[in-house]
Amino acid sequence: MFAFRDDELSLLEKDFSKPVSSFSFIFGRRKVGKTSLINEYLQEKNALYLSCVEMVPSLFFESLSRQVASFFKIKIEEQVTDLKALLTLISTCSVDTKTVIVFDDFHHLMKIEKKSLQTFYTLWGRKLKAKNLQIIISSSVLSSNKDDINIFNKAANYIRLESLNFNIIKSQLPDLNKNETMYVYSAFGTNPQYLELYDVKKDFILNVKDNFLSYDSFIFNEGFNIIKDELSEVGTYCSILYAIAMGNKKIGDIANFLNVKSSYLTRYMQKLVDIMILSKHIPINDNPAKSKFGRYEIEDNFLKFWFCYIYPNSSYLKRKEHYPIISHIRRDFSNRLVKDAYKRYVLELIINEPEKFLGYVPSSIGGWWNNKVNDIDIVAYNNKDITFINCKWRQRDSAKDSYEELKNNAQNFETSLNRKYTIFAKNITSKQQNR
């Protein structure tokens, strides 16, 4: 796994080697690999790992203070009842060699003390900064609060863990053909824990049946459990994710699907963005504060598949009525989910090797659309060239028709740059056409 997290490990190692104290943040949704990354990083280091769990405050701080006392070999003179007292206790400890202190799942601590981030930063400046420490705070919640963002920006490192690279599937399941690899990517995502479940001796549908549709499988309730562990009002959040998995990406469409007002959804949508389950996208070059064309995407392919096919069919599946669901997946999966996963894959290819696919390194890259039917999957440009790209998992039209459609849509994008057009399709090599 960690061949795909080298950049993050390097950032932390570089920070550790500096002759000053520092603090870093690691953000990522549940199951993206934060704790695994931290455990890998802590190998052969003098490190105190503090896991923040939901607990009665008195028991929580008593537990953490005992761990601090044991690690630093000190006696606790006064009862520790809050974060300020805990950090003050740490500040009294002797630190001869560089020591890493990890607060994992810090968002649970913020449920106990809402101002815990501000408390940490205050104590950092007053007492902890003078110690020989590297403090790492991990969280599944990326707060949008301005005061919190100001603290994030003061950190030595601000690491947001995204889903692992597509190539991890090739690494773990090297014998799959191109189609099946894309199917696995679209359903199982790139979490190594899920990929380990895939049996290459069985076809894709049978793997889906054994893992997603089997009541005994640990991922049968996984989507529900991920939401339940992070949020209350689970039914509302799960319904929103179901609506998005079914293809409703604009808040108005989501509201119509759920038969509620858009204004009712606003705080729920923001919370799902904060815990990094959802991402909000706007057309390339739009102002994020003013754009009226926002679209929401489920970040993880696994969750998208789970909410599309497992969540709405749990009653059938608990009675082991698999056939109707399998039949539906056979008909629906490629057109509904694989095509979007293929776009994500193509974008990843271009970002990783821009000169190979574009002929230049872009200064900006993203999707574009307007209030008409003029979607363009990917637009990339530098100060000379601009490339318009559409991705066709199923190439129903001729290449010529696809190019004409792309060129017609691109005419609505105002630019004086040199225009190029590219079609990516699974069975043909990408082609370019200049203006």
Phi, psi of 383 (to 5 degrees): -85, 5
Domains of the chain: 2-160 (3.40.50.300), 167-343 (1.10.10.10), 353-434 (3.40.1350)
pLDDT at position 160 is: 96
pLDDT at position 77 is: 86
Closest among 272, 305, 310, 281 to 30, alpha carbons compared: 272
Nearest-angstrom CA–CA distance, 48 and 46: 7
Please provide the DSSP assignment of 243-262 as one string: HHHTT--SHHHHHHHHTS-H
Phi, psi of 208 (to 5 degrees): -65, -45
Please provide the DSSP assignment of 57-83 as one string: HHHHHHHHHHHHHHHHT----S---SH
Render each residue's pLDDT in the chain as its tens digit; 435 residues. 455 799 999 999 999 999 999 999 999 999 999 999 999 999 999 999 999 998 999 999 999 999 999 999 999 988 999 999 999 999 999 999 999 999 999 999 999 999 999 999 999 999 999 999 999 999 999 988 899 999 999 999 999 999 999 999 999 999 999 999 999 999 999 999 999 999 999 999 999 999 999 988 989 999 999 999 888 899 999 999 999 999 999 999 999 999 999 999 999 999 999 999 999 999 999 998 888 899 999 999 999 999 999 999 999 998 999 999 999 999 999 999 999 999 999 999 999 999 999 999 999 999 999 877 779 999 999 999 999 999 998 766 666 778 899 999 999 999 999 999 999 987 654 455 554
* 177, 426 contact by CB (below 8 A): no
* 170, 198 contact by CB (below 8 A): no
pLDDT at position 3 is: 58
Sort 175 into a burial class: Cβ within 10 Å, 0-12 / 13-18 / 19+: exposed
Residues 6+ apart with CB under 8 A from 213: 220, 310, 317, 322, 325, 326
Which residue is it, tokens 């007002």?
Answer: 261
pLDDT at position 429 is: 47
Residues 6+ apart with CB under 8 A from 246: 257, 308, 336
Closest among 69, 107, 60, 59 to 90, alpha carbons compared: 69
Q: Is 352 left (phi over 0), alpha (psi -120 to 50) or beta?
A: alpha
User: Which 3-state string (H, E, C) describes 329-341?
Assistant: HHHHHHHHHHHHH
Nearest-angstrom CA–CA distance, 177 and 179: 6
pLDDT at position 46 is: 97
Nearest-angstrom CA–CA distance, 380 and 299: 21
